[in-house]
Amino acid sequence: MCMKVEFTHIQSAHCENGVTTNLLKQAGVHQMTEPLAFGIGSGLFYIQIPFLKINNGPAIAFRNMPGAIFKRTCQELNIPVIRKKFSSPQKAQAFLEEQLLTYRRAVGCQVGVYYLPYFPKEYRFHFNAHNIIVYGKEADTYFVSDPVMETVTTLSAYDLQRVRFAKGALAPKGQIYFPKGNVVISSEQMKKAIKKGIKKNAFYMLKLPGNIAGVRGIKRTANQIKTWKDTLGLHTAGLYLAQLVRMQEEIGTGGGGFRFIYAAFLQEAHAYLKNDSLLSISESFTQSGDIWRKAAAHAAGIYKGRLSAQADFNLMADYLHQISEIEKEAFTALSKLNPSF
Amino acid sequence: MKQTEIPQDDSKLKNFTKEVCYVVDDKGAYTTQLSTGWEVKALALQTTWDEVQQRAEAAKQEALQGKTSPLKFFLEIKLMDLPTLAAYTGFWQWQIKRHFNPSVFNRLSEKKMQKYASVFEVSMDQLKKMNVHES
């Protein structure tokens, strides 16, 4: 038996943005784009989690918690959501099939990438917060839309179960999520959601207590980088920087750690809100993304072994300080736009 | 990043996919474009994998010298940490730590040994001899 839900695959830079965009489009929110999903979901972030090591390097993220973009975007647009975790793979599969066959809807699934057969081996770490859409089934094969891939793909029932029940940190536990029904979103509602998304994102980047997250988090990392050569030795310091770059990048943020997507969001926000400040603030994020890229290229000199002086680490820290300042100013400007715009 | 600056370097994504990037066109408006990869990122990934290989080789040598069991080697090549291995095998972390001891490891029941072998996707023989070639 072959069953496919009507579904259009649109490739995106980042998996959760893509799943959110494509699921919402399917549910009737035709205006949704990747930058809008990212911005309304207040996706831009920075955090270096203290004491935690991932793959023997620092735990750094450039976006908010996995699952948060979908959750917040739906929340701001008042779209009811169904989200379920499962204790047994059998129940998880039965629920998925019910959605596909009975309700004829495509659904989002959280999966681990380690056992994802269509990913290049070099990208397969034990990272459990990848997102895909399952939109059909034929015999033992599921039709899958992975937003970071150019085209749709498939997974066998065995492989799908394996990635849905990947284990370790952030284990997906078969997690499945989708908008509950069809909705129509007016442009008034979009405006409101965009404003709220901007406001929240400014809060997360500027106002979280402590210095591990947001613009102060970037400064904290910068200050640590200056000490890495002495405290870790050149080899490990290089590995740490490679990890920073990998987190900045992984697949498809263009090296700017999501800053370019946010800049694109502000341009799209301008089309709704007609406030010209948004355009100039958008340029600030482009600038910040460009410095992130410059910093990454510089870091590559260190982990390649071409650069090794303390001055090179200091320059790296300087880049991050600049970024922190630019983003602080940009988000402060954004938070001040409220409530007048 | 300007549309004209988008890198089209060689990367491990070759033959799998290209990635979408957000870039600024000549009028200053954002648009998307596909990229085959960026050298800086490819190198970061390569650096990480080289390190994995080195750690695995070191773990293998230790195991051959009888300082530790083969488990550490597999932990490295499978990119796992203790909590992840514990979750996949169903063993407690303290049990796994005990199994790092070669004399404890060599006396493991066939059932437990098989559990490790299947999680690491090798035969029991390969598990003991560590003769796997990661392709």
Residue A199 touches chain B, beta carbons under 8 Å = no
pLDDT the model gives residue A253: 58
pLDDT in tens, B61-82: 999 999 999 999 999 999 999 9
Q: Domain ranges for chain B, please list them.
A: 3-37, 41-129
Contact B48 A242 (CB under 8 A): yes
Residue A51, helix vs strand vs coil: strand
Does the pLDDT value for residue A298 go beyond 50?
A: yes
The chain-wide mean pLDDT, for chain A, equals 93
Query: Do A187-337 and A2-30+81-179 fall under one CATH topology?
Result: no
In chain A, residues with a C-beta closer than 8 Å to the C-beta of B84 are: 126, 167-169
Q: Please give the class, per CATH, of domain A2-30+81-179.
A: alpha beta
**Separation in Å, CA of A103 to nearest CA in chain B:** 31
Q: What percent of chain A has pLDDT over 70?
A: 96
Query: In this structure, is the dihedral angle defined by the CA atoms of residues B30, A278, A292 and A256, taken in order, positive or negative?
Result: negative
Q: What are the beta bridge partners of residue A156?
A: A141
d(CA A181, CA A201): 27
pLDDT in tens, A209-258: 999 999 999 999 999 999 999 999 999 999 999 999 988 766 555 567 79
Task: State whether CATH 3.30.56 applies to domain B41-129.
Answer: no
The neighbour count for residue B50, using CB atoms within 10 Å, is 13
The pLDDT-based confidence of B135 (bands split at 50, 70, 90) is very low
**Separation in Å, CA of A16 to nearest CA in chain B:** 14
Cα A40 to chain centroid, rounded: 13
Nearest CA in chain A to B43: A300
pLDDT the model gives residue A289: 94
ipTM: 0.91
Higher pLDDT, A252 or A142: A142
The pLDDT-based confidence of A92 (bands split at 50, 70, 90) is very high
Q: What percent of chain A has pLDDT over 90?
A: 83
Least confident of A30-39, A91-100, A256-265, B63-72: A256-265
Q: Which residue has the tokens 């959280």?
A: A110
The pLDDT-based confidence of A181 (bands split at 50, 70, 90) is confident
- CATH number for A187-337: choose from 1.20.120, 1.10.1660, 1.10.357, 3.40.630: 1.20.120
Q: Domain ranges for chain A, please list them.
A: 2-30+81-179, 187-337
> Which residues lie closer than 8 Å to B111 by C-beta, 6 or more apart?
none
In chain A, residues with a C-beta closer than 8 Å to the C-beta of B43 are: 242, 300, 303-304
Residue B68, helix vs strand vs coil: coil
